[in-house]
Structure 1
Amino acid sequence: MGETVRLTVSQALVRFLAAQYTERDGVEQRLFAGAWGIFGHGNVAGFGQALLQAADTGEADLPYYLARNEQAMVHASVAYAKTHNRLRAFACTASTGPGSTNMVTGAALATTNRIPVLLLPSDMFATRAPDPVLQQLEDTRAGDVTVNDSLRPVSKYWDRVIRPEQLIPAAQAAVRVLTDPVETGAVTLCLPQDVQAEAFDWPVEFFRRRVWHVGRPPAEPDAVARAAEAIRSARRPLLVAGGGVVYSGGEAELRAFAEATGVPVADTHAGKGALAWDHPASVGGIGSTGARSANDLARDADVVIGVGTRYSDFTTASHTAFRNPDVRFVNVNVARLDAAKHAATQVVADAREALAALRSELEGWHAPADHRQRAEEAATSWQAEVDRCHRAEGRDGLPAQTAVLGTLNDTLDDRDVIINAAGSMPGDLQMLWRARDPKTYHVEYAYSCMGYEVAAGLGVKMAAPDREVVVLVGDGSYLMMAQEVATMVSEGIKVVIVLVQNHGFASIGALSEDLGSQRFGTRYRYRDPGTGRLDGGVLPVDLAANAASLGAHVIRADGLPDLREALVEAKASETTTVVHVETDLYGPNPPGSGWWDVPVSEVSELDSTREARRVYDEHKQQQRHYL
C-alpha cells in the first residue's frame, strides 16, 4: 500500500486542503487561503483541533479566521473568491445543527453566483451510539436524514463522509468541482462529529502537492464561423458583457473587439467595468435597472452578442428588453447552459479566447456608421442624466440616495472598490456608477442577498489589501448582518463602511407603491394604535452607535459636504471606519427604462392595485419567448 501516516479525518483534511493549488496562464497559487469557522460541539474537538495542531506544528498551512456569523463567513469567502476570479477560495467549518444550517443562505448565494466555497458542516454521529443527540432532527421517514441535507439543493457537490477512507475520493471530488469554471459553486462535505475525530492510516500520496489546471476552452472554429456570419448580417448589433468576461480576464480582448468592430457594449452587474464607462463603445447597464442608452439600443437590436452572461430576468427586463421581432442571439459562454439560451448561435468557450477568435474572424467588418453614431449619442445623453442624478436633492434637507452615490463616485479613486447587494442601491449603481475597472464594482445581484455587504467587505479587503474597500449598505441590510465589523476590528483589517440610513426599505417601498400596495410594511416605524399598522413615528434607532459598539470608528455626516469630508477622513484612517449619513427614503430615483415582472393582484378592492394591474397587463403584452 505504500507509506502511510496515522491521522484523524480532520487532521487529514487540513493537510489535504493546504496542498491544493490552481494554475491558469502559467500562474500557480494556493487554492485555499484559509478556513473560516465558529466552533461548537461537533467541530471544536475535530476540525478545530486539527487547525490548532497544524498551526502549532507547522505540518499544514491553513490559517484560521474567527467569524461572528456562519452565513457571513460564507459571504466573506464568496467575496474573496470573486475578487480572485474564482481561482482561490476558503473553507468554512461550523458546529452541528444551527451552526451548519446557518450556512444555507450563503451556499445558495455562492451557487447562484457560481463562486467556489467549501462548506464543512458538522453532522450527527455516524455510529448513532448516543442517538438522538442534542440538535438532532429525528425524521420518521429515514434514519440517515439530518439537517445538513438542507444543503443538498444549494450545493454543486454534496457528500457525507461516514467512514474515514471515504474522505479520499470525496475531497478530490470537492476540489474538482471548486476549480471547474462551469460547475463551481458551494461544495459541501458533511462531517459527522465522531468521524472527525476518528483515526486512520492515510496514504502519504493523498497529501502531495496537487495543481489543478484551470483551462481556457478554445472556441471551435466552425462555431466561430457561424457566430461571425450572424454578426456580419447585423445592422444594429449590441454586445452584452457579463461576469464571464471578468472571470476570464478578458477585459483587454473585449476592448479590442469593440474597437475593431464598433459594436456598442452594454454590461450586466457582474460585467460592469469590463469596458470603462467612458470608452466610446460603452453604453451602460442593461435591463430592468439599466441605463436608457443601453435599453434603447437593446429594444432595436437585430443581433445580440451575449458574452459571459446568464441572461437573468433583470438583464432581459423579464423578456421585454429585446423587442426587434427578428432579433437573433450569439452567445459566448464557457457553460452550454447559458450559451444555448434564447435559441442562440452558440460559442461554448472561454470568453477571452472566444472574443479573440471572433475579432480575427470579423477582420475588416464594422458595425454600420449610423448605428455607432447613435450609440455614442445615446451614451452621451445618458451621462448628462447621470450628472443630474448625482446632484439630486431630497426633501427636508436630506440628500437623495443618488447624490450620495455621486459624492462617492467623485471621491473614490479608480482602483477603490465599491460593494453593495440588495435593495434600491444596486439599481441606482447599475444606472449611475462610473467604473473603469471591473474589480472596483462588486455588486452581488444574482441572489440579491440582504446582509451580504459588510461580510463581503471583509472578504474583498483580504483578497485585495492594496485597494481601498468601501461597503455601501442601507439600514435594512445593516440590521440583518453587521457582526463582521467586529471581525474587521479584531483582525486589523481596514474597511470603510458607508451606512445609508433612510428608516426603511427604499427599493421594496418603491416597488410596493408601483404595484399598488402603498408601501405597506416597508418602513421602520412604531405601530400606530389608531390604525393598527406600522405607520407611526420613526423609531429612535441609532445605527452609528451600534457600529461604534462593535469597535469601529464612526463619523456622522450631515449632508453631502460633510459626507465628502468624512470619506476623505475615512480613507486616510488606518482602522475600520463607518460613515453614517441620512437620506430621503422617497428618492428621487433615477429614470427607469426597463421592466421587471412582479405579478400584481388580478382582482382587488383597492384603486391603487387595480391601476397597477392595468399597467402590468400592458407590459405583459410586450413579453416574449426568444425563439
Structure 2
Amino acid sequence: MTGARFLAETLREYGVTHVFFVPAIIRRALVEMEDVGIQRIISHGEKSAAYMADAYARVTGKPGFCFAQSVGAANLAAGLQDPYLGVSPVIAITGHRPPMHRHRNSYQEIEHSRPFASVTKYSAEVETVEQLPHLLRQAFREVTTGQTLPAHLDFSGISGDVITDGILDTDVIVEEPFTQRPAFRPGPEPERVREAARLLSQAERPVIVAGGGVTASGAEAEVVRLAEMLNIPVATALNAKGCIPENHPLSVGVVGSYSRWSANRVVSEADLVLFIGSHTGSQVTLDWRIPAEGTPVIQIDIDASELGRSYPAAYGLQGDARRTLEAMLDVLEPTGGNASWVSRAQEHVQNWRDEHEPVLTSNAVPIRPERLCQELTDFLPSDAVLVADTGHAGIWTGSMVDLTHEGQSYLRAAGSLGWGLPAALGAKCGAPDRPVVCWTGDGGMWYHIGELETAVRYGINAVTVVHNNGGLNQDRRGDEAAYEGREGGNPGELWRFTDTNFAQIAESMGALGIRVTDPNQINSALDQAVSANRPAVVDIVSDGDVAAAAPWGP
C-alpha cells in the first residue's frame, strides 16, 4: 500500500476520529482518511490546529493529531507549547525539504528539530517510507506512556509527499495499549505504600493536592474515596478542577496562583501534603510558598524524576495515580480522625463563600465577572465540558465556578492566550454528545476569531462565552502602576480595545450570536446557545474596572 493509505488506516485502527491541520500537508493521506471515516478539520492557523488537537486529546485520552507543511512547521511548534505544558498526548506531523535542499537556503524553510525540541518528548525525521511504520508506532508509544508529552514526526517532502507517495509492503499493526493514555499503570513498591499510608494516618492536619495526573489517570473516584476514608480536605490544581465535586464537604477549591484563598489557607496550615500527579510547579504552589519549605510531603507521580523536584524531602511513590491510590486504599483503615482540622477547613471555605456572596449574586450593570461565574455554576449541565482560556479566564473559572457533578470536566489553557476558542472546537470533536462551553475574554477571542468560521463550516456546535470587558484587563493594574509618578500619559493605550459586539461578528459568520447586558439574562442566553444545535457566541458586556484579586499567600 502507499504510505498515505498506511497512515490513514493506522490512525483509524488506533481510534483517531479527527485530525486538525493547515494545508498543504500529506494530501494523499487526507484523501485516504476520508475513505476510512476520519474527519479532516482545516483550521485558520497552525497554532489553532495544535490547540484543537490538544483539547481533543485531553477530553478523549486518545492521541490528538495536527499537521502543517514545511513553512508552517515553526508555527505548529509554537502551538505545541500548551499541550507540552499541559502534559497532553499530541502527535504533530510536518513536512521538510529533501536532503539536497539542506544548507542551501531552501525557500521558506528553517531547520525543524530546534523549534520542536523544547515542546516535544520525542521528535524524529522520517526520510523514507520504510521508516514510517516503526516511527509512527513509536510516536504513539511516547505520547501514551509516562509523562504524556507531545511527539513530532517530520516527513520528507515539503508536504510530506515523499513518505505518503512511497510504497510499503507491510501490514497495519496496532499495539492496543498505546491507543489511549495511560498505556500502562505501573504500581509503587508495597513497602513504600505502607510507609506512605502510615505517614498519612498519623498526620494531624493532612491535605490532598490533586494534580493533572489525577485526571490523566482517571483517578477521580479514588481521590474522593481516600479523602472520605481518612477525612482529609482536598485542594486541586487547575488541571484537576472538578476531580472532587466542589460542593463536597472535603473540597476546599483550587490552590496556588489561580485560586481560592480558602484552598491556599488550608494547604499552608497543613502538617502533611499529599501531592497526587502534580509537578509541584510554581502555579499550584504559589511560587513554592504553599506549602512552605520544610512541610512534610508525600508525592505520587508516574515519572520518578518529578519526585522531590520542588520539595526535596518528599516521600516519593512512583506509579500511575489510580494504581497507587488503589494500593493505598487496600492497606488503609477508615478513621474518624481529623474532625477539628476538617472543621477548620470547612470554616475557611464558608468564610470565602460568605465574603463573595454579594458579588456572586450582584445585579450590577455592566455585569460583574463573579456573577457570570455563579450563572455558569447554576447552568452547566451535569455532563458539560468547561473550557477556560488563560489569564483572567483561568482565574475566574478556577476560583469562582463550582463543578458539582462527577460527569463535568474542566479543560484549561496551560499558558497561551487565545487557546480557548480553538480548544473548545477540539473538545467538541472529541466529545460530540456533551455540551462544550468555553470562557474566553475579548483579548483571547481576537487571537483566533477566524475559527468561528471553522466551527460553522464543520458544524462544531461549541458555545463560546466572551467575557467582554473592553481590553486586556489583567494587564491594567501593572500598566497603571508603571505610570505612577508621571503627569499625564495614557496607560489605557497599553490595554484598552475598541468596543466590539462579538455577537454580531458571530452572526455574520453564520453562528448564533447573543449579546447580554443584563445579568438576569445570562441563564436564558446560555440555555438558548446550548440548545441551538449550531456554533454559538454569548457576548457578555462586563465591567472593565473589575479585576481578579491577587492570590492569598503567607
Q: Same fold (TM over 0.5)?
A: yes
How do 1:104-503 residues align onto structure 2 when only pairs under 5 Å count? 104-128=77-101, 132-137=105-110, 146-147=111-112, 149-180=114-145, 182-193=146-157, 196-197=161-162, 199-205=165-171, 207-212=172-177, 214-323=183-292, 326-341=294-309, 342-343=311-312, 344-392=314-362, 397-437=365-405, 440-445=408-413, 447-503=414-470
Q: Deviations over 1:115-170 (max 9, x none)?
A: 01111111122343995443134xxxxxxxx2453122211111111223222332
Work out the CA distance in 2 between the residues paired with 1:261 and 1:508. 43
Residues 563-587 of structure 1: CA deviation (Å, up to 9, x unaligned): 2322222122111111112111121
Q: Which residue of 2 aligns with 1:525?
A: none
TM-score normalised by structure 1 residue count? 0.81
Q: Displacement of 1:364 after TM fit?
A: 4.1
Alpha-carbon displacement from aligned partner over 1:446-491 (angstroms, at most 9, x marks no partner): x321111111111111122222111111000001112221111111
The answer to whether the 8 Å contact 2:392/2:548 transfers is no
In the alignment, which residue of structure 2 is the partner of 1:543? 502
Give yes or no for the alignment of 1:570 onto 2:534. no
* Letter paired with 2:387: I
One-letter identity of the residue aligned with 1:481:
H
Q: Is the 2:274–2:298 contact (alpha carbons within 8 Å) kept by the matching residues of 1?
A: yes
**Correspondent of 1:65 among 20, 41, 44:** 41
How has the CA–CA distance of structure 1 residues 335 and 432 changed in structure 2, closer, same or farther, with 3 Å as cutoff?
Answer: same
Other-structure match for 1:102: 75
Question: Which residue, out of 12, 27, 36, partners 1:18?
Answer: 12
- Cα pair 1:431 1:590 within 8 Å, conserved: no
SS of residue matched to 1:277:
coil
Cα offset for 1:186?
A: 1.6
C-alpha distance in structure 2 between counterparts of 1:519 and 1:422, whole Å: 27
> Cα 1:136–1:322, aligned 2, differ >3 Å: closer, same or farther?
closer
In 2, Cα distance between equivalents of 1:102 and 1:576: 26
SS in structure 2 opposite 1:35?
strand
Is 1:92 the counterpart of 2:66 in the alignment?
Answer: yes
CA RMSD across the alignment:
2.6
The aligned residue for residue 142 of structure 1 is none
Change (3 A) 1:430 1:90: closer
SS of 1:493's partner is coil
Q: Distance in 2 between matches of 1:388 and 1:309?
A: 34
Instruction: Please tell me the residue identity of whatever aligns with 1:157.
Output: Y
| Residue 387 of structure 1, CA deviation | 2.7
Q: Report the Cα offset of residue 10 of structure 1.
A: 3.5
**2:254–2:263 Cα contact (<8 Å) kept:** yes
1:385 CA displacement: 3.1
CA contact (8 A) 1:423 1:508 kept: no
1:51 corresponds in structure 2 to: 30
User: 1:78 and 1:129 mapped to 2: Cα distance?
Assistant: 31
Distance 1:249 1:519, change over 3 A: farther
Query: Between Structure 1 and Structure 2, which shows a larger proportion of helix residues?
Result: 2
* Cα contact 1:34–1:65 (8 A) shared by 2: yes
Q: Which amino acid aligns with 1:108?
A: Q
Corresponding residue to 1:506 among 473, 478, 490? 473
- Structure 2 contact 474–547 (Cα < 8 Å) conserved: no
Is the contact between residue 301 and residue 317 of structure 2 (CA under 8 Å) also seen in structure 1?
A: yes
Q: Aligned pair in 2 of structure 1 residues 404, 347: CA closer, same or farther (>3 Å)?
A: same
Q: 1:36 aligns with which of 20, 37, 40?
A: 20
Is the CA contact (8 Å cut-off) linking 2:95 and 2:157 kept in structure 1?
A: yes
Deviation at 1:229, TM superposition (A): 2.4
8 Å contact kept, 1:231–1:303: yes
One-letter code of the match for 1:473? T
Q: Secondary structure at the match of 1:419?
A: strand
Asked if structure 2 preserves the Cα contact closer than 8 Å seen for 1:291 and 1:431, the reply is: yes
Q: Secondary structure at the match of 2:120?
A: coil
Deviation at 1:203, TM superposition (A): 3.2
Q: Write the distance in 2 (CA, Å) between the matches of 1:93 and 1:35.
A: 8
CA contact (8 A) 1:509 1:519 kept: no
* Partners of 1:385 and 1:511 in 2: CA distance: 25
Any idea what the Cα deviations from partners look like across 1:20-77, whole Å, max 9, x if unmatched? 3xxxxxxxxx1x223222223xx2xxx112221453xx4x454322222211111111
Contact 1:512 1:519 in 2 (8 A): no
Deviations 1:339-371 (A, max 9, x none): 333121011112122222222322144543211
CA 1:105–1:238 in structure 2 vs 1: closer, same or farther (change >3 Å)? Answer: same
CA contact (8 A) 1:121 1:148 kept: no
CA distance in 2, matches of 1:210, 1:500: 44
Question: Aligned to 2:285, what secondary structure does the other structure show?
Answer: coil
- Is the radius of gyration larger for structure 1 or structure 2? 1
| Change in 2 beyond 3 A, CA 1:131/1:50 | farther
> Which amino acid letter does the alignment assign opposite residue 111 of structure 1?
Y
- SS state at 1:314 partner: helix
User: How far apart are the structure 1 equivalents of 2:484 and 2:258?
Assistant: 20
Deviation at 1:222, TM superposition (A): 1.2
State the 1:17 CA deviation: 2.8
Q: Secondary structure at 1:212's aligned position in 2?
A: helix
Alpha-carbon separation, structure 2, partners of 1:243 and 1:442: 11
Aligned CA distance change for structure 1 residues 588 and 197 (closer, same or farther; 3 Å): closer
Give ranges in structure 2 of 5+ residues lacking alignment.
none
Distance 1:231 1:108 in 2: 36
Offset of residue 12 of structure 1: 3.2
Where 2:416 maps in the other structure, the secondary structure is coil
Contact 2:22 2:43 in 1 (8 A): yes
Contact conserved, 2:382 with 2:406, CA < 8 A, in 1? no
TM, length-normalised to structure 2: 0.91
Secondary structure of the residue that 2:240 maps to in structure 1?
A: coil
- Which residue type is aligned with residue 12 of structure 1? F
* In structure 2, distance between residues paired with 1:236 and 1:540: 50
Asked if structure 1 preserves the Cα contact closer than 8 Å seen for 2:68 and 2:94, the reply is: yes
Distance 1:546 1:412 in 2: 25
SS of the residue corresponding to residue 322 of structure 2 reads: helix
Task: Report if the CA contact (8 A) 2:233-2:342 is conserved.
Answer: yes
Contact 1:156 1:185 survives alignment (8 Å): yes
